[in-house]
Amino acid sequence: MNTKCFDVIIVGTGAAGLTVALELANKELSEAMPDSAQLTDQPAIALISKGPIHEGSTLYAQGGIAAVLDEDNDSIDFHIEDTLNAGAGLCHKESVKFTIEHSKEAIQWVIDKGVKFSREDNSNDYHLTREGGHSHRRVIHAADATGKALSDGLLTQVKQCPNIRLFEHHMAVDLILSADNSKSKTSKQCIGIYLLNTHNNQVTEVPAKFTILATGGASKVYLYTSNPDSSTGDGIAMAWRAGCRVANMEFNQFHPTCLYHPKAKSFLISEALRGEGAKLKLPDGTPFMHKFDKRGELAPRDIVAQAIDYEMKRTGSDFVYLDITHQSPEFIKDHFPTIYKRCLSFGIDITTEPIPVVPAAHYTCGGIMTDLDGQTDISNLYAIGETAFTGLHGANRMASNSLLECLVFGKAAAEKIKAELPCYECEPLLPPWDDSRVTGSEEGVVVTHNWDELRRFMWNYVGIVRKNKRLLLARQRIKLLQREIDDYYRQYLINSDLIELRNLATVAELIINSAMHRKESRGLHYTLDYPYKDDQKFLKDTILVPDNYQ
């Protein structure tokens, strides 16, 4: 990778990163810009993927995208109300309204890009399903592999854009800031990134007028997760180190139903099964969700995950069952072909027998604080998708609102950046990466051990159900781990494993401190020491501010 100056660097190639890249690739700027400010060439865009270009959480998304498409039976007001209810009082109403009011046009934009969605039998109408927290059928999907259809469709378009350069197997290490810029609204401006080539472990400084973090969430901080290995909180950690505020990191969503099988790594069983009537049952076949919520299996994810966790601990079972055998084999194979084939590969025929499932870390509701355009606290630095905190999800994300957020905020960020691109010049000379005082390490076991220990104590101490004593133990351990990691980082040449471990440790500290601050139970944060909501003291976001934030 040469060190040419890009107009925009986008870190991440999931739905958020691909959306903003495609919108930026269009050279047309805001009509409000004077003619003298119009760009003469298309913006030069770098799209960074730390693994293969298609790898990321979007690829594994099964359920779909929530949007009001059946206006005869649904409405924007219903979708807003459902989202606010799921968010347990902490959703930002302006963010919810903004997102949902743009949902239909976001879906049409995706369709125009060539993404194919499932249709009703013998009809041209799109098939809409219903998931937890939704009062109506409004989730458009591509069978049970919506994320793959979305990722494949947008990637096809991206590869046809000559002004987008794809860099696979490159990983952002840290942001590069300038402290003095008259056009900046803050005291800091992002002017580029340090980028690691993971094939040869060489670091290059790359300048850019704008940097966009679309790096996904941080669920890999937990031992059991539905997320791919890449979900290590990189964007959140980099932004925090640079001086951005983060919010609501205590709200980590555990998907209630991941396949329980020793060889089934990170395989999600879509909530859409419960939308089609699947029942959660104890190992003896007894249903139990009716005891916890009148909505049963279609209660929001926090309630379902806590109910499963309670029943597993009460009965001593390692799993519960999800049973959809009431549906015909033809229906199951047609609507859930991916899940059917994957379960069958492990000897489970879901048309005739229930699926063993357990909760697993799934989604990071908190993140880097942004406005409705994706702008962070640092000038020219944007964050979109799961890495960002927009206020949409509150204390609990409602199913299938996440891909919608990626599309809506990706488009909004692109429009804002296109309007501002002519106002900025590129910083040609950046401080070079200095590794002259470090050496290669022959102690990789240190990284492996710390990685494993971090994820285990986060699962045991800061998981679905929390207690003050466990959180204190977690905070003590993370401080020790961070010292070890920092010493290792300063002594040895870096690689992707060390960067990810460093980022996970940062995110773990943010989660622990946020959880200790919230002395109540709300949404995804449930603590035995404070089992009830406290609207008088805690009906507000948990905002953490770095020591060096100005």
Which residues participate in catalysis according to the annotation? Answer: 301
Cα–Cα dist 9/45, whole Å: 6
First to last CA, the chain: 33
DSSP conformation letters of 168-222: TTEEEEEEEEES--TT-SSS-EEEEEEEEETTTTEEEEEEEEEEEE-----GGGS
On whether the CB atoms of residues 214 and 9 are closer than 8 A, the answer is no
Cα–Cα dist 233/231, whole Å: 6
Residue 494 neighbours by CB distance under 10 Å: 20
> Which helix or strand (DSSP H or E) is residue 489 part of?
helix 468-491
DSSP state of 354: P
> Which helix or strand (DSSP H or E) is residue 54 part of?
none
Strand partners, 388: 368
Sign of CA dihedral 456, 462, 465, 467: positive
> Which helix or strand (DSSP H or E) is residue 57 part of?
helix 57-60
| C-alpha neighbours within 13 Å on the C-beta side of residue 193 | 29
Rg (CA), the chain: 23
φ, ψ of residue 287 in degrees (nearest 5): -65, 155
DSSP state of 237: H
**Residue carrying the six token digits 């125009």:** 112
On whether the CB atoms of residues 526 and 464 are closer than 8 A, the answer is yes
Strand partners, 287: 281
DSSP conformation letters of 95-138: HHHHHHHTHHHHHHHHHHTT----B-TTSSSBPEE--TT-SS--
Cα–chain center distance at 355: 26
The pair of three-digit structure tokens given for residue 37, joined into one six-digit string: 């400010």
Residue 183 neighbours by CB distance under 10 Å: 11
CA distances from 24 to 2, 411, 471 (A): 21, 9, 43
**Residue carrying the six token digits 């591509």:** 142
Count H helices and E strands in the chain, helices first.
16, 18
Residues contacting residue 211 through CB under 8 Å, at least 6 positions apart: 8, 9, 11, 175, 190, 192, 193, 380, 381, 382
